[in-house]
Amino acid sequence: MKNQNNIDIVGGGPAGLSVGYFAKKVGIQAKIHEASSTIGGNCKTIIDGEFKYDTGAHRLHDKSEYVTSEIKLLLGNKLKRVTSPSKIYYRGKFFNFPISISDLVYNLDLSSLVKIIYENILTRLRKRPLPESFKQLAYQSYGKTISKMFLISYTEKLWGEDADNLDPTISGGRLKVLNLRSLIKDLFLIKKTNSDHLEGAFYYPEQGFGEIFKSLGAKIGPENIFLNKKVCNVYHDNNKILSITDNNGENNFISNLVYTAPIDELVRSLIPAPPKHVLDKLKFIKYRELMICVLYLDLKSFSRNASIYFPDLECPFTRIYEPKNRSAKMSPIEKTCIVIEVPMGERNVKIDSTKEVVYHKILSYLENKNLVKSEKIIDYKLVKVKSAYPIITIDSILKIKEIKKYLSRFNNLHMIGRNSSFEYLHTHNIMEKSRSLINKMVSL
C-alpha cells in the first residue's frame, strides 16, 4: 500500500461507507462510486413531514465493543441505548422473542406444551450433527413443534424458499438454543422480565439509523463520494483489475478495488468476460425484494415492541416495527407510524402487484385481527426496496464458492457486504470486516 495508497469503492451503502471511513482513519485515499443519488444503501432514514422511518427494522446490536465505541464517538449523545422487547404474533396472542418455555406455559394448551418439553429434552440428550439446513438448525434449537409454529413458516415467507433448502447461516446467530439448564430454569423458576433476554436492548441514533451512515459519509468527505456513478465495466488482465468505467463513460484506473454491490453485477461487468461455466452459475444468485408500507396513525402508540413478527402464512407481511419505540424523535408526540415489511415473490404478494393491491392486503389483515382501525390511519406510503438481501440457499452457497474462486485471481479486488460476499451480516459484522480489510491492506 505504500506505493498504491488509494482505493476505489463500488457502492455507497453500509459496507462501502465503512471501508471508506476506516481507510480515511489510516490515511488511505478512498473514492466511493455510488449508482444512486444518496448514500446509505438499504440503511436510509426517510423524512416525511413530521415522521421519520428507516428502510428496514435496523438497530445496532452491541456485539462488537470496538464498533459500538466507534459509533459512539461518531454520534456522541445522539446514540441512545434503547430497551424495547420483540414479540411474535401467533393465533391472536403475543409471544416473547427469543422464545422461552416459561412464556409458552402461559399461552399454549397442555398437550402442546408437553410435546414441546419432551422434544427439547430429547433433542438436548441426543448427539446433534452440524445442521445442513435452516430447518435442521431450527429443529435442533427448539424442536419440531415450536419450529413449525413460529420459525419455519415465517422463514419460508421471509426468504421465499423451502426451509430445508435454506442455509443455516440465514439465522444470523439469532436462534437461542434451549439447553437443559435453561429449560428447567424457565419451567420452575420465577419468570424473568429482563429485556436483554427478549432481544430488547440495542443502540439507536435519535434521528434514525441512517444517521450512522450519514456520519460515516461526512468523515469520508463529500469530495470523495461520487453520486449517480454506476460502474458499468470492470477491465482486467486476468490477474489484476485495471480500470472501471461508469454510466457517463468516465474511466478510472485502479490500484485497489473494493466491491460492495451485488456480486452478479460484478461478474457481468468484467471485461474480458469470465468463462461460460462461471457465468452459468449466476442463475443461482437471487435477491429478495421488499415492499415497505408505512402507516401514519392518529395514535400516541401502536405497541411497546421493537419488532413484531408474523409467522402466519395468511398474513401478507413478515414484520412490523414502530420507529417511535426506537426514538421518540421519529414521530410527533400525539401520533405514531408503523413500518410493515412485505416480501415480494411467488409465495407471498406477487412481485408485479400494484401498491394499492399491497396496501389493501395489509389493511385487510390488520383490520381482521383488530390490530389497526382504518379510521386511525392518517395516510400511508409504500416504498420498494430492491435487492434487500441475498437469498442464501444450500445450492447458491456452493455456486457462490465457485464464483468466488474465480474472482480470487484478482489480487487487488476485495468484496465486502451482504450482496457482494453473499452473507447474512449485521451492521457490526460489516464494520468489523471493513476494519479488518483496511488493516490487512495497510500491512501489505
Question: Taking the model in full, what pTM does it have?
Answer: 0.92
171 or 166: which leads in pLDDT: 166
- Per the prediction, the chain carries an average pLDDT of 91
CA dihedral 86, 91, 93, 97 (to 10 degrees): -20
* Position 1 pLDDT exceeds 60: no
* pLDDT bracket for residue 194 (50, 70, 90): very low
* pLDDT bracket for residue 441 (50, 70, 90): confident
CA dihedral 133, 265, 289, 150 (to 10 degrees): 10
Beginning with the edge strand found earlier in the chain, give each strand of the sheet holding 270-271 in spatial order.
251-253, 241-246, 231-236, 270-271
Residues 6+ apart with CB under 8 A from 267: 274, 278, 279, 282, 403, 407
* pLDDT bracket for residue 287 (50, 70, 90): very high
Task: Determine the pLDDT at residue 184.
Answer: 60
CA distances from 418 to 169, 259, 424 (A): 12, 11, 6
Instruction: Report the half-sphere exposure of 353 (CA within 13 A, side-chain side).
Output: 25
Task: Determine the pLDDT at residue 348.
Answer: 82
Tell me whether the CATH fold assigned to 6-43+59-79+206-285+392-443 matches the one assigned to 287-390.
no
The domain 6-43+59-79+206-285+392-443 having CATH identifier 3.40.50.2000: the answer here is no
Give yes or no for a contact between 252 and 8, defined as CB atoms under 8 angstroms apart: yes
Task: Determine the pLDDT at residue 187.
Answer: 58
* pLDDT bracket for residue 263 (50, 70, 90): very high
Across 383-405, average pLDDT: 93
Task: Determine the pLDDT at residue 442.
Answer: 85
CATH topology of domain 287-390: Polyamine Oxidase; Chain A, domain 2 (3.90.660)
Across 233-262, average pLDDT: 96
* pLDDT bracket for residue 370 (50, 70, 90): very high
Task: Determine the pLDDT at residue 123.
Answer: 81
* Position 196 pLDDT exceeds 50: no
Domain ranges for the chain, please list them.
6-43+59-79+206-285+392-443, 95-190, 287-390
Q: Which residues pair with 413 in a beta bridge?
A: 257
